[in-house]
Structure 1
Amino acid sequence: MSITYIPRVTQLDAVQLDKQLEELFKQMVFNATKFFEPGILQPVLPELELLIRTWIFKYSVYNNKYTFGQQMLSLKYKADNFSRSKLYWYYGYTVGLRYLKDRAVYSFTSNRKIQDFIHKLETFQLIGDIFNFLRFIQCGKYPLLIDFVLGLELSAEKVTREDLSDFSWTRELLWHNFIELIGTAISLINIFGLRRKLLNVLKYVSWSNQTRARVASSNAIMTIHTECAFCSSSPVLPYTMGCSHIFCYYCLMANKTADPEFACPKCYYKGGEINKYIVA
């Protein structure tokens, strides 16, 4: 009799096991070739990882309709819903797409357009994984995005967890993934833009408006005691942005590049004109 309810943590355990098994397999191959001449495998490393993932796919999902991690936990995909076309799409997403990204990184490192395209592709994939994880936490089905897209449901005759009790990550795996989700979401937030929006609230404070008006009309003066308004160190290649404060070139340009509306952290003045400070 097939089990209708599979715990979320068991499904996530299977995903983690697949990742661990792949890393273990690669480590074994690399250990077997560690005595080769240095650099001999580096040019074909993406192809080597492609062969490893293809071998894993062939003898797990392709032949048996379950991954090795799912097999260890007595899980499997419903065979009647796993057509040959879905197998090809599954392979293309889990193996082929990763190979294309790895090969592009190795062969087209200096090509800005290709690298930007890969970055955007990874960002969209990451956003999709985040939304899919939130959906999975709610409904308990399709732990992977590709499972949800292809409609691949899991089934089980029994749920096996006793043999994996020694693994620390099986106890609080849901919390671990949730923490990773939060960390990933934070990395997507434009901290500079958020900081600017919070500082904009200060413009309604009277002393802030007075400071802004006073500083905007004064000229920057540099002495031996002058510090960068951002890093509080002696300015390296001093630059100004229209207020009386001086910045390091890197500090100012890095902030302006990340956030075009960057305001001076000392006086909240938004300078649109960046000029090199000329020492008289």
Structure 2
Amino acid sequence: MSINYIPRVTQLDAVQLDSQVEELFKQLVFQATKFIEPKYIQPLLPELELLIRTWIFKYSVVDKKSTFGHQMLSLKYVPENFANSKLYWYYGYTIGLKYLRERAIYSFTSNAKVQNIVHKLEMFQLIADILNFCRFIQTGKYPLVIDFILGLHLSAENLTREDLTDFSWTRELLWHNFIELIGTTIALINIFGLKRRLSSVLKYVWWRKHMKSTATSNTAVMTINTVCACCSNRPVLPHTMGCSHIFCYYCLTANKTADQDFPCPKCYYNGKEINKFVMV
């Protein structure tokens, strides 16, 4: 008789075990190839990882209709609900997309356009993971996005961890996974760009009297009272970007490096060139 209710912590444990099994196989392969010169192995890392994941997929999901993590915890996908056509979608999402991302990173490292596309795709995937995790906490079904998309249900004949669902650390594990997803997402967000966009919205609020971002350039003048438009301290190595305000070299360069569209925080002029201020 199959068990309908499967504890959330058991499902999350299965996901963690799958990741650990994959890492174990990688370590074994890298250990076996440690005497080969890196110049021969490094360019083929995405393909090696693809072969490892494909091998794991073949002898787990394809043959058993369950991952190795599921098998360790006596779980499996409902076979009647896992048609062969879904195997291709499952493989493409869990393995194919990872390979394309890793190959793009290795082959197009200097291509900013490709890297931006990869960055955005990772962002969308992380947002989907967070939303799915929130739904999973509420419903207790589909711990992975691909499970939810394909409607893959888990079943179990017995649960080796069923008696652990009342412990307080069960809830801690759920929150740990949730916080980890949020932390990873925040790390990919361009805080400077987000701040600029929020500021451009707030400039239309009635209590803020901002100048338009399309303000014309003016000549900067430095006096004894001049301070950096960013840090409000005496400018160190004064530089300008076309408006009438002066910046520290490191303040202006750091902000422009983080966000190419960084505008002047005083007048919202978006200068594209950084020039050294010269006293006349």
Aligned residues of 1:227 and 1:235 also touching (Cα < 8 A): no
> Between the two proteins, what is the percent identity of the paired residues?
58
| Greater mean deviation of Cα atoms: 10-19 or 31-40 | 31-40
**What does 1:1-280 align with in structure 2 at a 5 Å threshold?**
1-161=1-161, 172-187=172-187, 191-192=191-192, 193-194=194-195, 197=199, 204=207, 219-221=220-222, 228-230=228-230, 235-236=236-237, 238-240=239-241, 242-248=243-249, 249-254=252-257, 257=260, 259-260=262-263, 263=265, 268-273=266-271, 276=275, 277-280=277-280
Aligned residues of 2:57 and 2:67 also touching (Cα < 8 A): yes
Counterpart CA distance in 1 for 2:234 and 2:55 is 55
CA gap 1:102/1:65 in 2 versus in 1, 3 angstroms? same
CA gap 1:101/1:185 in 2 versus in 1, 3 angstroms? closer
CA gap 1:238/1:222 in 2 versus in 1, 3 angstroms? farther
Show CA shifts across 1:141-198 (max 9, x none): 111111111110100111112899xxxx978321211211332443465533447649
Aligned residues of 2:2 and 2:157 also touching (Cα < 8 A): yes
Show CA shifts across 1:24-43 (max 9, x none): 11011111211222322111
Gaps of 5+ in 1: 210-215
Match of 2:214 in 1: none
1:202 Cα deviation from its structure 2 partner:
9.9
Per the normalisation by structure 1, the TM-score is 0.79
Counterpart CA distance in 2 for 1:188 and 1:44 is 26
Counterpart CA distance in 1 for 2:81 and 2:234 is 63
Gaps of 5+ in 2: 211-216
Q: How many residues align?
A: 263
Per the normalisation by structure 2, the TM-score is 0.79
Counterpart CA distance in 2 for 1:271 and 1:159 is 63
What RMSD over aligned residues (CA atoms) do the two structures have, in Å? 3.4
Counterpart CA distance in 2 for 1:39 and 1:64 is 37
AA matched with 1:4: N
Counterpart CA distance in 2 for 1:151 and 1:278 is 66
AA matched with 2:207: Y
AA matched with 2:268: K
Look up the SS of the partner of 1:41 in the other structure.
helix
CA gap 1:119/1:157 in 2 versus in 1, 3 angstroms? same
Look up the SS of the partner of 1:155 in the other structure.
strand
